[in-house]
Amino acid sequence: MPIPETTSAEGLEHYVGGKRLLTSRGEAWRDIKASLFALQSAEGTVSLPSVSEPVLTWIVSGDQEIRERELDGPWITSRVKAKSFFLTTSGAPYDCNWKILSSEPVEFMLVRVELPLLQRAFEEVFGANAIHAQLQDVSGFIDAALNSLMESLLGELKRRKASPLFVQGLAQAIAIHLARNYTVLAKNSLKASSSLPGYKLRHVTAWMEEHVAEDFNLARLAAQAGISKFHFHRLFKSALGVSPSHYQINLRMNAARQMLRETKKSIIDIAMDVGYTNPSHFARLFQRETGLSPSDYRRQR
């Protein structure tokens, strides 16, 4: 099946790679939708489109290793245990690879809070600022309160006839919990869901400039932004148009150009100063990025 760039939260179910065991139907599920899936193979890879509305994924059972990457970017690996959550709000299409690590089968539930209810939750929590409210992308997090709500929701999903009052109450509680705990206010609301907030971006790029000579460490950069490695990579690239690793290369090349112009340091010393222990590797990267070798660039200053 061809993979579109974007799909609805409901449409995402066609691409997740699991067998659907249960799905919500009937009057009780007006404000929230839920479907239970089971992985059928011990390992596999799927390509997932971005979603046009928020999706909450709850790992019901089983442990697994998950690797994710955006387009042809680097694979980012994490171990995910039962009761973990993923909140996906937008972003680019991505590939997801899994490997089951436990003897227990892996089951997961996709949950979608309908947008009108989510908007009412934003208005209750943020008042007049609700127009700027944006859910965050978060991966592999544990939340005991949300887990309890999900267990009750799964219980209703398994019933032959769910209680409309109970499911609607759960939907409202989930919407308020997401608004209180996983929402930011962003003045540029059109961009907020698909890129890093400006203050986080400025913090991360300033940190990268101060540590330009250090080895690239995606996990450490993601920690600076307070989000998962996978979502940091996606949102950073969305904000600046280049991956974090290439942004570091750009910083190193800018620093090297400045030293070649303004100092008499040897090319070997400059390479070391910007984080390259192999001068030949530095020279190849410099020529690739600038079109000139370091020595030719210096002669043109």
Q: What is the pLDDT of residue 33?
A: 95
Q: Which amino acid is at 109?
A: M
Q: Which amino acid is at 135?
A: L
Q: Which amino acid is at 188?
A: N
CA angle 145/146/149 to nearest 5° reads: 95
pLDDT above 70: residue 187: no
Q: What is the pLDDT of residue 256?
A: 95
Q: What is the pLDDT of residue 195?
A: 58
The predicted model gives 133-139 an average pLDDT of 82
Domains of the chain with CATH codes = 6-192 (2.60.120.810), 195-301 (1.10.10.60)
213 confidence band (pLDDT: 50, 70, 90): very high
Residues recorded for the chain: 301
* CA gap 162, 156 in Å, rounded: 5
**Cα torsion 112, 159, 181, 219: sign:** negative
pLDDT in tens, 52-93: 678 999 999 999 998 887 766 777 787 889 999 988 876 667
The predicted model gives 218-240 an average pLDDT of 81
* CA gap 48, 12 in Å, rounded: 7
Q: Which is more confident, 101 or 13?
A: 101
Q: Which residue from 8, 64, 17 is spatially nearest to 38, judged by alpha carbons?
A: 17
Residue 98 near residue 159, CB atoms below 8 Å: no
* CA gap 6, 193 in Å, rounded: 14
Q: What is the pLDDT of residue 208?
A: 92
- Cβ within 8 Å of residue 145, ≥6 positions away: 177
pLDDT in tens, 191-201: 444 556 666 77
Q: Which is more confident, 34 or 300?
A: 34
The predicted model gives 100-107 an average pLDDT of 93
How many of the other CB atoms lie within 10 Å of CB of 281? 11
How many of the other CB atoms lie within 10 Å of CB of 167? 24
Beta bridge partners, 85, equal 58, 141
**Cα torsion 195, 200, 206, 209: sign:** negative
Q: What percent of the chain has pLDDT over 70?
A: 90
* CA gap 200, 139 in Å, rounded: 17
Q: What is the pLDDT of residue 126?
A: 94
* CA gap 42, 61 in Å, rounded: 14
DSSP letters, 39-66, are E-SSEEEEEE-EESS-EEEEEEE--EEE
280 confidence band (pLDDT: 50, 70, 90): very high
| Residue matched to tokens 């910083």 | 251
Query: 177 burial class (0-12, 13-18, 19+ CB within 10 angstroms)?
Result: middle
152 confidence band (pLDDT: 50, 70, 90): very high
* CA gap 95, 92 in Å, rounded: 10
For the whole model, what pTM was predicted?
0.63
